[in-house]
Amino acid sequence: MPESKIKEIYVVLTKVSKPYFDISDRRYRQLAEEKTVPPVKKGRIPFLEAFRALLVYKSKLAEGQGSLNLTDVRTRKENARAEREELIVKKLKGELVLKDQVEKWLHGHVEEAKTALWGLPRRMGPVFSPISDEKEIEFLLREEIYKILEEMAKPLHEKKQSRRKNFRKSKAVVATA
């Protein structure tokens, strides 16, 4: 085969990247940094060598073996953005509760249960002292524990309303006394 007198044709990257290679100048430079295509020197690239390297690169992409760094990053970014927006919508709808709010609510619930149960012997002692029947004591004790559990099971807004009513009743008693 006769030897070619043309060794290599160097072309300006900005003139050929989009029309011939179907990639941006920036993406070509990224591929050059990854050593996938020949590097850009003074704004020019060896056309034939670059064309061959890009053919290999694009065929690997089509087979699923190539580097999709930029595409992968964009996909992950879009997925993260969609997930974030979904969380914001759930929070606005009231379907999502923040961790601190749950911890605060649970801590308050446990404290309320602890206080009610610790006060049980003091409240029920005078009631039980005249009673000698064990079954009646057990029944009264179960009834009182059931009341405590019922109060704890009420939704938060009902508890606030019942506390306000009790507060108003206690003020009314003080005012009439």
| pLDDT tens column, 101-131 | 888 888 888 888 888 888 888 888 888 888 8
CA 122 to chain centre: 46
Q: What is the mean pLDDT of the chain?
A: 78
The token pair at 18 is: 């989009």
pLDDT tens digits, one per residue of 8-19? 667 776 667 667
Kindly calculate the radius of gyration of the chain based on its CA atoms and give it in whole angstroms.
38
